[in-house]
Amino acid sequence: MSCQLANKEEIKQAFAQVHSVWPHDPDPAVHLQKRLSSVQHQRATWFVVKESGQVVCSLGAYPFQLFGPDGDRPARALGAVFTPAEHRGKGHAPRLIRWVCDYYAAQGTQDFILYSDIDPAYYQKLGFQSLPSYEWSWELPASVPQVDLTVFPARPLDPSLAGFRYGIRRQTEEARWVQEKQHSSLRLSRCLASGKWLLSRQDHGTYTLLESNLDQTAARWPELVRLVESDARQAQCHRVKGWWVSPEAEPAPELRDRIRPRSEEILMWASLRGDEDPWRADISRHGFRAHLSEHI
């Protein structure tokens, strides 16, 4: 049994195995080709566990450059951790995650993030901690006040230019990846009067806010609702949703009817610096949600 960088054939095996849970197309052959040509998946470095010549576990590690008050950090986001059903319960995934973290630690990377679709305790045993993360959604009311918004050609913006304290320093390649990952066109709407902008995705009548330069504090919440609902109505959507992106540690009590803790895709972070990490106190309290686009 071995953990290793995946070659082209092993990547094909890994991509074919995940068809049952993350299909890019109902047809397995089309799924495989789409996954192989995906900008999203081409950005990752893929790793596998092999046993008796077969891929029994796999994951992708995506490169990021994080920025914070004390400078930049190289980081990796771990995704698509998968073990076929017949090989589960043997510790393959934990073994591979530890191996990948050690692999990058030897190159100077000490920050790792992932989104957990399972009990976070599984990853906590591997050194990851769950971070505060909230979401909001509701059906549009029958009457929505209109705001004068101008729609521009959409592109993901660089969070480092928005005055955020922590986040990803997004370059052209990362911006293309973010746009491709949405599998639908993006909409960038700007209120010329206030300078506030909304980057969103529209999918089957649902408006998803991806990024904005408007803080979701209790004081600014009515303004966000007004802008989002107006933009969603103009985009001919009937439902809105998004992540709670705020410098506040948790939603104010009066917002709890709409802003809820996330129940899936729990954001988790591991810093190999341990308790001495100068980011830990702030990130543990606020999470990356205030400054790290959670759709990435």
Does residue 197 form part of some domain? yes
User: Do residues 186 and 279 both lie within one domain?
Assistant: no
User: Do residues 92 and 210 both lie within one domain?
Assistant: no
Does residue 6 form part of some domain? yes
**pLDDT tens per residue across span 95-142:** 999 999 999 999 999 999 998 888 899 999 999 998 888 889 999 999
Cα distance from N-terminal residue to C-terminal residue, the chain: 32
| Phi, psi values for residue 223, rounded to 5° | -65, -40
Q: What is residue 296's predicted lDDT score, i.e. its pLDDT? A: 42
CB 295 within 8 A of CB 180: no
User: Do residues 67 and 158 both lie within one domain?
Assistant: no
User: Do residues 126 and 41 both lie within one domain?
Assistant: yes
User: Do residues 242 and 139 both lie within one domain?
Assistant: yes
Domain containing 17 equals 2-133+264-290
What kind and span of H or E run contains 178? helix 172-181
Does residue 295 form part of some domain? no
- Tally of CA atoms within 13 A in the half-sphere of 108 that contains its CB: 4
d(CA 189, CA 238): 17
CB neighbour list of residue 179: distance below 8 Å, 6 or more residues apart: 154, 155, 156, 186
CB 159 within 8 A of CB 211: yes
Residue 183 belongs to domain with CATH number: 3.40.630
d(CA 50, CA 33): 23
CB 87 within 8 A of CB 61: no
Please tell me the pTM assigned to this model: 0.81
d(CA 13, CA 18): 9
User: Do residues 6 and 125 both lie within one domain?
Assistant: yes
**pLDDT tens per residue across span 27-50:** 999 999 999 988 778 889 999 999
d(CA 245, CA 253): 16
**pLDDT tens per residue across span 39-92:** 778 889 999 999 999 999 999 999 888 888 899 999 999 999 999 999 999 999
Instruction: Provide long-range contacts, Cβ within 8 A and 24+ apart, for 37-42.
Output: 38/180, 39/176, 39/177, 39/180, 39/181, 40/177, 40/180, 40/181, 41/15
Instruction: Name the domain count of the chain.
Output: 2
* CA proximity to 154, closest of 229, 208, 216, 225: 208
User: Do residues 155 and 105 both lie within one domain?
Assistant: no
User: Do residues 146 and 116 both lie within one domain?
Assistant: no
Q: Output the DSSP codes for 83-140.
A: --GGGTTSSHHHHHHHHHHHHHHTTT--EEEEEESS-THHHHTTT-EE---EEEEEEP
Q: How far is CA 200 from the centre of its chain?
A: 14
d(CA 127, CA 124): 5
**pLDDT tens per residue across span 178-226:** 555 555 678 889 998 999 988 888 888 999 998 788 878 899 999 999 9
SS3 234: helix
Residue 19 belongs to domain with CATH number: 3.40.630.30
CB 178 within 8 A of CB 170: yes
Does residue 296 form part of some domain? no
Does residue 227 form part of some domain? yes
